[in-house]
Structure 1
Amino acid sequence: MQYNFYLSNEDKERIYHTDLVKYGVKYDKAAKVAKILASNKEEEQWTEEERKLVLEACKQWLDSYNRYKNLQEFFY
């Protein structure tokens, strides 16, 4: 089932930030990345610094998320 509802940029930013921090991204870095991701700018419009920051944070998030999932499988 698909729901259609509106999320403001602030709501999106809050969700991204919470999830990034939950999986180990530093608070300040997560805040910057969340702002970039929630901005609705196309990836092609990001600066090189923004691209690098998002890539680093997302890689860190993915590594931690996968570690969590593997541990979850082990214990359950």
Structure 2
Amino acid sequence: MQRKFHTTVEEKEAIYYSELFKQGVEYDKAAIAAKILASGKSDEELTRGEIELVNEVCSEWLAKYQRYKHLKPFLAKYKQV
């Protein structure tokens, strides 16, 4: 049986923010992007600036996450030594 979890906008915002900030996105940009992402608005409801900011932040997050994912096995190897 699959359960659906209901999260509030504030909880979603906190999740987005923590993931963005954890990967090294600037505090201010992460906070604004998290608020936009958590709002659930469609692209038509967002301004061009908001869309550009979210795209920039998400691209930055993806690049840093992929780098982390690539380095993680190497870091684990050295932790064992």
In the superposition, the TM-score normalised over structure 2's length comes to 0.86
What is the aligned length? 76
Q: Which amino acid aligns with 2:62?
A: L
| 1:68/1:2 CA distance change after superposition, 3 Å | farther
Q: Which amino acid aligns with 1:56?
A: E
Deviations 1:1-50 (A, max 9, x none): 74301100000000000000000100111000000000011122211000
Residues 1-76 of structure 1 mapped to structure 2, 5 A cutoff: 2-76=2-76
Cα distance in 1 between the residues matched to 2:2 and 2:57 = 28
In the superposition, the TM-score normalised over structure 1's length comes to 0.91
Q: CA RMSD in A?
A: 1.3
* DSSP-derived class of the 1:4 partner: coil
Extract unaligned runs of 5+ from structure 2: 77-81
Q: Which amino acid aligns with 1:22?
A: K
